[in-house]
Chains A and B, each alone.
Chain A
C-alpha cells in the first residue's frame, strides 16, 4: 500500500517519539522493560491495516514498580505496581488545529499492591474517547473522559468489599496519546519519577510536542465557546457537554 507523504511523515515522527520514550525509560530504569513502547513504535510505522489517513498503536501492560512512590489506603500497602495500557488511533493531518485529532482512544491505569491482609489490592481508571452512536448515553459523555473502575475492575473476580462501582462520573480530560497518557499516570501515581522526568529535556520535548498536537485543538475548541466567530470545526459542547 502506498501511503501519502503526510501519513508517512506523521507515522515516522510518532514512531521516533515512541522509540525515544522507550530509550528514556531504559536509561532511567523506570520500567522492567520498555518493550511495550518499542512494540508500539514498530506498530505505528508499519500498520497496514490502518487507513491511509490514520495512525494507530497499542501499548500493552507497561509495568512500573512504584517502590515507595505510592500513597494509598490502606497505608500498609506494599509492592505497589502501576500497569498502563493504551490503544489509540489518530488522524494523519499536519494541519490538525481545527478538529478532533484522534479517532479512537481507550486507556487503562491499573494500580496493584499487597497488604498484610490481602495478596491482591487493585484499582483501575479507564479513559476513553466517546464513540458516537455507541449506545445512546444516559449520563453525560464528554468526548474525552475518565472514570474510576472500568473493565479491569468489573471483569475481575476480586472482592472489592463494600466499594460500589459505577460507570460515572465521566470526568472530562484533554485527549491523551501514549506519551501523554504515560505522563498523566506518572504525575498521579509516581510523583518522584514524574518530577525527575519533567526535569529532563528529551522527555519534556516529547511531551510538549504531544500536547501541541492534541491539547491545542482541544483548548482552542473549548475557548471558542466564548469567543466568536469560531474558526474550529470542533464544537465546544462536543468537547465538554456541560458548556452552555
Chain B
C-alpha cells in the first residue's frame, strides 16, 4: 500500500477529492492532515515517513479545527523537506502540488524558484475528471522515488543503466548528455535525480519521444490506424523507455526508432522518407495491415518529424515554428507550433529566429 499525506487547510473541500482518489485504486491510501506548526509537521513527517505528499498551495488561508492558521505556504514546506532530505534527516518521496486554478495563477506561476520542488502540479477541482489517472500517477511517482533511492543506495551511478538506454541512445547519452551536465550533482539526492529524469528526459522531447511525435516520425495517422497500438507497443517494444516513471508517461527512444528503421531501409533515413513510403515499408516489415499514413495538407512539406504542440498536427520542420524554452538543454529538441496556429495566437513563445519568420509570413500573406 502506498501512503500519501495530503496537507490542506481547506479540509472540507479536500475530503471529497481524497475519498474519490482512495476509491479509485486499491493500493493507495491518502490521509488528510491539517497544517500544524512547521516544526511539528516536519517532525511528524520525519518520524512517520509517508510515501508521498500532496500539498495545497495556500496553506495559510483557512484556520484548522484547532483554530491554527499556518504562517507558511506549500513552497516553504516543500523547501524545508527537500533540504532535510538532502541531509538525510527525512526520507525522500514525491511532493505534488494541488490547488485551485486562480491560486496557481496568482501564487505559483510566477514563483519560478519553487517550481523545481514539486514533481507534479494538479488543478484541484480537475482531479475529479479522471481520479483513476491521478491515483495511478501518484502511486507511480512514489514507486519511481523508491526505485531511484534503491539505485542510489546500491551505488549505481551510470545514467545509461539507470534509464535503461541501449544502442545509439546509450551512445548519445554517454557522449553528448553526460558531457553537458553535472552528473554527480544530479545524483546527489533522489529528488534531484527524479526531477532531472522527469524534466529533461520524460517530459521534454529529445532522446525520448511521446506517442504523438512517434506517430509523426513513423508517418502513421494513429487515429485512423487500428493497428497503431500493436505497432507502438508490440513491434516497437524494444524501443520503449522502461526507466523510472515509465508508467506515468509512455515514451520511445528516438535513436532506437531510427536504428530500427535503418534495419528495414538502410538506404534512405527515416527523416527523408515521405509518410506513404514510411508506412508502406513498416506495413511490410511488421505484417500489420491497418496502418494509414498521415495525409499531408496542400502546400505542406511531406517529411514529417514533429507535431504542433497546440493542435497535435504532424509537421514537416519547414512548416513549424520552434518555441523557446530556456530551461532545456541543447540536446533536448525544441517544441513546435504550426505556422497556422502561430498566426492565430500571438502569445506563443517563439525563438527569435522564428519570430522573424512569422513576421515575414504575416507580411507576405497580408499582401495576398
A46-82 contact mask (Cβ, 8 Å, vs B): 1 or 0? 1000000000001011010101000000001011010
Enumerate chain A residues within 8 angstroms of B174, measured Cβ to Cβ: 42, 46
Interface pair A65/B357, CB less than 8 Å apart: yes
Instruction: Say yes or no for B6: interface residue by CB 8 A criterion.
Output: no
Query: Given known contacts A46-B174, A67-B357, is B299 in contact with A120 (CB within 8 Å)?
Result: yes
B357→A60 contact, CB < 8 A: no
Instruction: Report which of A35, A78, A85 forms a contact with B360, defined as CB distance below 8 A.
Output: A78
Contact mask for chain B residues 219-262; partner A; CB cutoff 8 A; 1 contact, 0 none = 00000000000000000000000000000000000010000000
Interface of B is mostly: helix
Cβ-defined contact, A42 with B318, below 8 A? no
CB interface residues, B 170-206, toward A, < 8 Å: 171-172, 174-176, 179, 206
A83 to B317, CA, bound (A): 10
Per the bound structure, the CA–CA distance linking A46 and B317 in Å amounts to 28
Say yes or no: B255 contacts A39, CB within 8 Å: yes
Q: Shortest Cβ distance from A44 into chain B, in angstroms?
A: 9
Q: How many residues of A are counted as interface, with CB atoms below 8 angstroms from the partner's CB atoms? A: 38
A interface SS class: mixed
Interface size for B (C-beta < 8 A) is: 38
Interface contact A43-B171, CB-CB below 8 Å: yes
B1 at the interface (CB under 8 A from A): no
Residues of chain B contacted by A222 (CB below 8 angstroms): none
Contact in complex: B357, A58 (CB < 8 Å): no
Contact A65 B353, beta carbon cutoff 8 Å: yes
In this complex, what residue of B is CB-closest to A66?
B357
Task: Report the nearest B residue to A39, measured CB to CB.
Answer: B172
Interface mask (B292-308 → A, CB under 8 Å = 1, otherwise 0):
00000011111101000
Name the residue of chain A whose CB is nearest to the CB of B179: A19
| Cα of A26 to Cα of B317 in the assembled complex, Å | 18
| B357 x A61 contact (CB < 8 A) | no
Q: What separation, in Å, do the CA atoms of A78 and B354 have in the docked complex?
A: 13
Cβ–Cβ contact B356 & A67, under 8 A:
yes
Q: Quick one: given A46-B171, A63-B317, are A29 and B352 in contact (CB under 8 Å)?
A: yes
- Expressed in whole angstroms, the minimum distance between the Cβ of B297 and any Cβ of chain A is 10
| A114 contacts the other chain (CB 8 A) | yes
Measured CB to CB, the nearest residue on chain A to B305 is: A61
Judging by beta carbons under 8 Å apart, are A26 and B168 in contact?
no
Contact of A46 among B175, B206, B322 (CB under 8 A): B175
A112–B316 Cα gap in the complex (Å)? Answer: 12
Kindly list chain B residues whose C-beta atoms are within 8 Å of the C-beta of A118: 299
Residues of chain B from 123 to 182 with CB closer than 8 A to chain A in the complex = 168, 171-172, 174-176, 179
List 27 A–B pairs whose Cβ atoms lie within 8 Å, in order of A's numbering.
Answer: A19-B179, A23-B330, A32-B322, A33-B330, A33-B333, A35-B333, A38-B330, A38-B331, A42-B168, A42-B171, A45-B171, A46-B174, A46-B175, A60-B271, A61-B271, A61-B305, A61-B317, A67-B360, A76-B364, A78-B360, A78-B361, A85-B269, A85-B272, A116-B367, A119-B299, A120-B301, A152-B272
